[in-house]
């Protein structure tokens, strides 16, 4: 079965024969056709080599035993990526800005959650103090309560 390239080669050779049968040869045309034929023959030769190599490889794999298979897969080296450079182009700069913005939002959200937790703890402590102070109404506890309340308001004002 002839391949497309082989058919093309046959056509080109026929054209060369026809050009040579004339009295006045067009050497430029003949040379260009001849060069094309040589290139196509080279391509066919390379394809046949590749096919032959694949057949040989398949035959070797069919004949391999367990130890050979272990060696075959063991010898495959793992390529390590050494280049960890992020290109500095428009797309990566935009992506970098988006990432930094999202990180900042996340950090701000965590900070706000932390502030709310602290305020809730302060409020709970104040409520405990109020409950304790209602049972023991002494002036020392009231001073301490006022002190805690001032701390709480100062936290509210700082945020």
pLDDT tens string, the chain, 159 residues long: the values are 578 888 999 999 999 888 888 888 888 888 999 999 999 999 999 999 999 999 998 998 888 888 887 777 776 566 776 777 888 899 999 999 999 999 999 999 999 999 999 999 999 998 888 887 665 555 676 777 788 878 777 776 665
- pTM value > 0.85: no
Mean pLDDT score across all residues of the chain: 84
- Which residue's structure tokens are 């309560």? 145
Residue 70 is given by DSSP the state H
By the 8 A CB rule, do 129 and 144 touch? yes
By the 8 A CB rule, do 41 and 9 touch? yes
d(CA 129, CA 140): 12
The pLDDT of residue 76 is 56
DSSP for 97-113 reads HHHHHHHHHHHHHHHHH
The pLDDT of residue 32 is 93
CA dihedral sign, ordered 50, 52, 55, 56: negative
**Going by C-beta distance under 8 Å and a sequence separation of 6 or more, which residues neighbour residue 43?**
5
Query: What pLDDT, in 10s, does the model give residues 74-87?
Result: 765 667 767 778 88
Domain boundaries, the chain: 4-74, 109-158
The helix or strand, by DSSP H or E, that contains position 78, with its residue range, turns out to be none
The pLDDT of residue 159 is 54
Cα of 7 vs its chain's centroid, Å: 44
**Helical segments of 22-138, H only:** 27-63, 66-74, 90-135
């Amino acid at each position: 079965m002839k391949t497309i390239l082989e058919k093309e080669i046959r056509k080109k050779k026929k054209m060369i024969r026809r050009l040579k049968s004339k009295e006045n040869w067009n050497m430029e045309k003949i040379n260009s056709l001849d060069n094309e034929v040589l290139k196509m023959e080279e391509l066919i030769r390379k394809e046949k080599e590749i096919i032959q190599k694949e057949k040989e490889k398949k035959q070797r794999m069919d004949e391999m035993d367990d130890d050979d298979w272990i060696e075959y897969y063991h010898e495959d080296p793992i390529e390590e990526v050494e280049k960890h450079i992020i290109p500095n182009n428009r797309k990566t700069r935009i992506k970098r800005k988006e990432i930094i913005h999202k990180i900042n939002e996340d950090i701000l959200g965590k900070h706000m959650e932390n502030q709310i937790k602290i305020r809730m703890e302060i409020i709970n402590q104040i409520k405990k103090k109020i409950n304790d102070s209602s049972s023991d109404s002494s002036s020392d506890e009231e001073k301490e309560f006022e002190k805690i309340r001032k701390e709480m308001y100062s936290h509210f004002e700082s945020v």
